[in-house]
Copies of this chain bind each other. A is one copy, B any other.
């Protein structure tokens, strides 16, 4: 019998308790042990919910109970969550978390402590919800020199862009609808400005290079300025607008960026719609690989957390090597990130497009303006060339 504690009884936490109870035979099958939730920590009371019987308000009860060998952290944030996770690890308890903010900021320190203590710190659910991507990076994609990780890592923005694309509504309308459906927060900034995706690609990038990629170093642009006109140009080009979190290694240097991109129809990420997430990985030997699934939601996320619990129980007494050191990785300057651009200008400014170099014009049937697809160039070169081009918008092309 393995006894675990769950910190936080919110959406994911209640999902974790539900799955551990409901699928106990499945977990026993994969671990050879029975797994039981001994405590749930939450400041709130839940009268009428059976969780009330195992509810505690004082973390020290969990910390000081030697029977608890594993702690699930699904509180979120980097305050108490960080304190509790670190104390748990130092006390020799393995930790599984869905907390991307915690992992992006403190991942390598927590991984080091786990290694020193011969226990494990796992965080599959911190990126891509129910999609297995963290563990495949640890133990399936380990033979190749991964040169690209690009993901649709935020379900809220993908839902909004999908609705805008297929139903023709504008950003504000779809955002309100997403909020009403619970797909977007009352304060949607973390999603629509790309901050959530930024933390996730910081985690994936760090795991790829083995060092700490600070999320603050990643150029991040949200989707709030995307309009129906942008989407119309995308359609005319056979492309969809997606918020991509990208990490590329070029000549041994890694670059990372979060921004809306136009994705061509033949790219595996083109068809990822609605609240679904996907992570595209490329390596010279592997070629293209993609992982697709529910990027959020109570049960998919909880299933990923509980799979971490299974893996941690299978590895009691044995640390699973995760190569992610505390040393900071210096990302290449976003200025040097290169791609082609779609640039929209007023018809009156058409002659100024010459400054952007060669390329081709594209007509999306929008009165009074014209689109122009540049050749591939760095951000720096684009900024220089476009300095005197009064463009309406520009979107990168993946």
Chain A residues within CB distance 8 Å of chain B: 15, 19, 23, 26-27, 29-32, 124, 130-132, 135-136, 139-145, 210, 268, 271, 276, 283-294, 297, 299-300, 302-307, 309-311, 314, 318, 320-321, 323
A321 to chain B, nearest CB (A): 6
Rounded to whole angstroms, the CA-CA distance of A73 and B283 in the bound complex is 24
A164 to chain B, nearest CB (A): 18
Q: Are A143 and B27 in contact (CB under 8 A)?
A: yes
Q: Are A29 and B299 in contact (CB under 8 A)?
A: no
Rounded to whole angstroms, the CA-CA distance of A261 and B144 in the bound complex is 34
Selected contact of A318 from candidates B303, B311, B318, CB within 8 Å: B318
Q: Are A286 and B294 in contact (CB under 8 A)?
A: yes
Q: Are A132 and B30 in contact (CB under 8 A)?
A: no
Q: Are A300 and B285 in contact (CB under 8 A)?
A: yes
A33 to chain B, nearest CB (A): 11
Rounded to whole angstroms, the CA-CA distance of A384 and B60 in the bound complex is 67
Which chain B positions have C-beta within 8 A of A299? 284-287
Q: Are A124 and B144 in contact (CB under 8 A)?
A: no
Which chain B positions have C-beta within 8 A of A302? 143, 285
Q: Are A139 and B135 in contact (CB under 8 A)?
A: yes
Kindly report how many copies of this chain are found in the complex they form together. 2
Q: Are A307 and B140 in contact (CB under 8 A)?
A: yes
Quick one: given A139-B307, A289-B132, are A323 and B29 in contact (CB under 8 Å)? yes
A131 to chain B, nearest CB (A): 6
Selected contact of A290 from candidates B29, B30, B292, B321, CB within 8 Å: B292
Which chain B positions have C-beta within 8 A of A318? 318
Quick one: given A292-B289, A293-B287, A294-B288, are A144 and B321 in contact (CB under 8 Å)? no
Rounded to whole angstroms, the CA-CA distance of A15 and B287 in the bound complex is 14
Q: Are A139 and B291 in contact (CB under 8 A)?
A: no
Q: Are A310 and B139 in contact (CB under 8 A)?
A: yes
Rounded to whole angstroms, the CA-CA distance of A314 and B124 in the bound complex is 19
Which chain B positions have C-beta within 8 A of A303? 143-144, 283, 285-286
Rounded to whole angstroms, the CA-CA distance of A131 and B287 in the bound complex is 10
Q: Are A30 and B307 in contact (CB under 8 A)?
A: no
Rounded to whole angstroms, the CA-CA distance of A285 and B31 in the bound complex is 19
A155 to chain B, nearest CB (A): 12
Q: Are B290 and A26 in contact (CB under 8 A)?
A: no
Which chain B positions have C-beta within 8 A of A289? 130-132, 291-294
A370 to chain B, nearest CB (A): 31
Quick one: given A136-B136, A143-B19, A306-B143, are A323 and B30 in contact (CB under 8 Å)? yes
18 contacts between A and B (CB under 8 A): A19-B143, A26-B144, A130-B286, A132-B141, A135-B140, A136-B140, A139-B139, A140-B304, A143-B307, A144-B303, A271-B271, A283-B303, A285-B300, A287-B297, A287-B300, A288-B294, A290-B291, A290-B292
